[in-house]
Amino acid sequence: MKDWKEIKERLEDFGNTKLVNSGRLIKPNTRFTTTKMKKLWDLFHTDRYTSYAKLLFSVGLNGRCDMTSSRNWYRDRGWGEIPERKDLSDKFGEEFVKLYNQGWSGNRISEHYNVYNESVYKILTKMGVNFGQEPITSEDIQLWKQRRKEGVSYQKISNETGRSRDTIKQYMKKEGLVKVKSKVRFIDTHYDKIVELYKQNISITEISKITKLTRTTTTRILKKYKESLVD
């Protein structure tokens, strides 16, 4: 494979119409533009841990469908082969295990590090994490409930039992021990203000400007108010 930094410099030649017309170079289409492919080539070489799919997405290509086309694009132009990805466990392995043992779920680790959930569990498995825990029993749930009533945090219960914090919280939610914030409707947050302005004989247009709501939303709120008067 040729040195990728030297190959990058050849990109400027693609703007030469004579070379394109002579057939020595292939004119890029609107999807695989030279600027986009240059940026992607740099990413492939400088970021060896991020997956191919995520790098493709970052430049506006389809993370799964465009991989083969990208390989062919570089091959056809003599750029060479796209380098293989490095093992993520070398970079994140110990950190993932530490967080998992602290009660983080695989999904939480995935979201925090922007790594696919499947990759997280592959790394944890490679690092020797044993997922073969016994099924959660009613005794487990009763113990968690008791500890929560005693004021013990989810994290501490996780550390004591070896279960993930998110798993414990999920079961406690089913038992009604997790406070769920009531959802406040968007209309309700502006209802009183709009009705007050309406009673002052301010037009709907002016009310919309004052509240920074659309005229449609303002009209819908006033319709609700008028219906309440009929009732």
- Torsion of the alpha carbons at 91, 97, 98 and 102, rounded to the nearest 10: 140
Question: In this model, does residue 23 exceed pLDDT 80?
Answer: no
Average pLDDT (209-219) is 85
CA 52 to chain centre: 16
Do 161 and 140 touch, CB atoms closer than 8 A? yes
DSSP state for residue 60 in the 8-state scheme? T
Q: Tell me, what's the pLDDT at 108?
A: 85
Span 87-103, pLDDT tens digits: 777 788 888 888 888 88
Do 159 and 147 touch, CB atoms closer than 8 A? no
Span 104-157, pLDDT tens digits: 888 888 888 878 777 888 888 777 776 666 677 888 888 888 888 888 888 888
- 151 Ramachandran zone, left/alpha/beta (phi>0; psi -120 to 50): left
Question: In this model, does residue 21 exceed pLDDT 60?
Answer: no
Q: Convert 132-146 to b/e letters by CB count within 10 Å (16 or more is b).
A: eeeeeeeebeeebee
Question: In this model, does residue 11 exceed pLDDT 50?
Answer: yes
Per mean pLDDT, which range of 1-5, 34-38, 61-65, 223-227 is the poorest? 1-5
pLDDT-based confidence at residue 25 (cuts at 50, 70, 90): very low
Amino acid identity, position 45 = H
Question: In this model, does residue 160 exceed pLDDT 80?
Answer: no
The string of DSSP letters for 62-119 reads -TTTTHHHHHHHHHHTT--PPPPPPPHHHHHHHHHHHHHHTT--HHHHHHHHT--HHH
Q: Tell me, what's the pLDDT at 132?
A: 61
Question: In this model, does residue 15 exceed pLDDT 60?
Answer: no
Residues 99 and 113: their CA atoms lie apart, in Å, by: 12
Report the chain's mean pLDDT, rounded to a whole number. Answer: 78
Token pair, residue 102, equals 């602290």
pTM for this predicted structure: 0.39
Q: Tell me, what's the pLDDT at 26?
A: 46
pLDDT-based confidence at residue 183 (cuts at 50, 70, 90): very low
Alpha-carbon separation of residue 19 from 8, 103, 172, 225 (angstroms): 17, 59, 68, 71
